[in-house]
Structure 1
Amino acid sequence: MARYFVGDIQGCYEELMLLLLRVDFHPSRDELWSVGDMVARGPESHKVLGFMTSLGDAAKVVLGNHDLHLLAITAGLKRAKPSDKLKKLLESKHLPGFIDWVRHQPLMREIPEHKLIMTHAGVPPQWDLATLRTEAGEVSKLLQSDGYLSLIGAMYTDEPEAWDPTASGFLRHRYCIDALTRMRYLHPDGRLDFACKKPPSDCTTELKPWFELPSELDDHTLVFGHWAALMGHTGKANRIALDTGCCWGEDLTLWQLESGEKITQKKLNLG
């Protein structure tokens, strides 16, 4: 069995198919681990979700901010933007099944024997593994419950910026969602910052990438996406960044756990 980790697909279905063809991926023996943001910005989000749901247990997915935003759009809480290119997905007869499947995907996955963790954006440096499991698990339970729309409706805010272990309810859940699906930079005191999206070389403020701060999980490999400006570079062997901006005209990246090899596919010109 080979385990392949793919960066933010974001509707880039043809590029995904070419990558999987190159590695002779087969769901009967291999697994495809997605760092999230399967939909939006690329042209074929409907085909991406159709493929991912067809993989059964061979698909190991975590949710990204665009996947959560899809839940808000389909619930009528937000409007889709033309730039999201979601029209075919939203008009698909399979949409209810896709949405149910998305709701049942977690915010984190792990391979304990490899001390490997996958989330969409990263893990707050002050969280240990037990905290990550607990906080991500609580959000997942809410997403799978009948009252999940209350959580979706409450997540559109940048507050709180700081982790407070004494917080409760949506205040606590919002921090978890923001940290695991939107985080890039942190202030020196650990507070989240959402204003800067530039690569670290262009950031002249006091801000630091989350993966440069001392972490409770320094001995783990963290696999993530979300930050296309990094173009796959973190400077750390156990911080694996896989968003390489395919939907922006760059590459889709596949990383194989067993070999450590990265394989890229340039964005196709689909007219």
Structure 2
Amino acid sequence: MTTYAIGDLQGCHAEFVELLERLAFDPRRDRLWLAGDLVNRGPASLACLREVRALGEAAVTVLGNHDLHLLAVARGGASLNRKDTLECILDAPDREALLDWLQSRPLLVREDLGDHGDTLMTHAGLLPQWSPAEATGLAREVEERLSSEQSGAFLQRMYGNEPACWHDSLDGVERLRAIVNVLTRMRFIDAEGCLDFSAKEGLDSAPPGFAPWFCYPRQDEARLVFGHWAALEGQAPGARARVEALDTGCVWGGRLTALNLSTGERSGVPSHQRR
């Protein structure tokens, strides 16, 4: 059995199928970890959702910010953005089944992978102040709210840039929003773990006093797998932890990348999208 981790699909279904063929992926034998953002901006978000869901237990995906945006539009009263490509899902005959499945996905996956030890995957990364156990518990708080009768009310208030700093004393929607922001939106943070939401490009776009989250030391040796940050092109220079960046910008004309979690080998296919 081989476990592969794959970066952001964002509606790039043809590339996803091509990559699975290149890997000779067999769902009866192998497993996939998908780093979130299955949908949006690309041409085939509906096909991506259907494909991953059909893989059943052979595939596990964490929620990304675009996945949560879809849920917020469909079930939280949010509006579509000009560049969204989500109408195909919203108009699909199997819409509700797909949304139910997506809403039940975790924000964090954690597993002991033998020689590679404790391995965690989230969409955007992990605060250096959070231990793997603490992060797992915090992710579960959001997952429980998404599976509750209050999920619609939460989706209405989920997004916002405040609070920008995590504190253990946070409660209510502010606490859940801060967890979502760390796990699905984070790029640059300061030494106290406060997030900047303005800079979205490469490392040289860091605001004064901020650095990529993975450049701060951790107290544990967990391996962290993440997507979200296409401008990194699959690299994490200056990392102070074991990190694997997987978003190589397929939807922007880059590549779709898979990482063999046992060997560390990377495979990829070129994007079919125009830059």
Give me the TM-score of the superposition, normalised by structure 1: 0.95
State the partner residue of 2:249: 245
Write the mapping of 1:129-140 to structure 2, written as runs, cut at 5 A.
129-140=132-143
Contact map agreement 2:12 2:251 (CA 8 A) in 1: yes
State the partner residue of 1:198: 201
State the partner residue of 1:231: 233
Q: Give unpaired runs (5+ residues) of structure 2.
A: none
Letter of the 2:268 counterpart: T
Deviations along 1:244-271, whole A, 9 cap, x unmatched?
111111111111112211111111158x
1:132 match: secondary structure: helix
Q: How far does residue 161 in structure 1 lie from its aligned partner after superposition?
A: 1.1
State the partner residue of 1:106: 106
Structure 2 CA distance for partners of 1:89 and 1:78, relative to 1, 3 Å: same
Range moving further from structure 2, 202-211 or 177-186: 202-211
How many angstroms apart in 2 are the aligned matches of 1:84 and 1:254? 25
Within the alignment, does 1:79 sit opposite 2:82 as a pair? no
Contact map agreement 1:9 1:16 (CA 8 A) in 2: yes
Deviations along 1:227-251, whole A, 9 cap, x unmatched?
0110011134721000111111111
How many angstroms apart in 2 are the aligned matches of 1:69 and 1:159? 17
Within the alignment, does 1:127 sit opposite 2:121 as a pair? no
How many angstroms apart in 2 are the aligned matches of 1:39 and 1:129? 27
Write the mapping of 1:169-208 to structure 2, written as runs, cut at 5 A.
169-203=172-206, 205-208=208-211
Give me the TM-score of the superposition, normalised by structure 2: 0.94
2:71 match: secondary structure: helix
Within the alignment, does 1:222 sit opposite 2:233 as a pair? no
Deviations along 1:197-236, whole A, 9 cap, x unmatched?
121134362210000011233x011000000110011134
State the partner residue of 1:55: 55
1:50 match: secondary structure: helix
> How big is the alpha-carbon RMSD for the aligned residues of Structure 1 and Structure 2?
1.6
Within the alignment, does 1:22 sit opposite 2:25 as a pair? no
Contact map agreement 1:127 1:216 (CA 8 A) in 2: no
Within the alignment, does 1:4 sit opposite 2:7 as a pair? no
Write the mapping of 1:80-99 to structure 2, written as runs, cut at 5 A.
80-99=80-99
Within the alignment, does 1:268 sit opposite 2:272 as a pair? yes
Deviations along 1:55-91, whole A, 9 cap, x unmatched?
1111111000000010011125112234221222211
2:268 match: secondary structure: strand
Write the mapping of 1:25-36 to structure 2, written as runs, cut at 5 A.
25-36=25-36
Deviations along 1:5-56, whole A, 9 cap, x unmatched?
1100000000000000001001111111100000000000000000011011
Deviations along 1:140-189, whole A, 9 cap, x unmatched?
01101121011111112111111110121111111100000000000232
Within the alignment, does 1:213 sit opposite 2:211 as a pair? no
Identity %: 40
Q: Give unpaired runs (5+ residues) of structure 1.
A: none
Deviations along 1:84-124, whole A, 9 cap, x unmatched?
21222211111100100011100000112421000000011
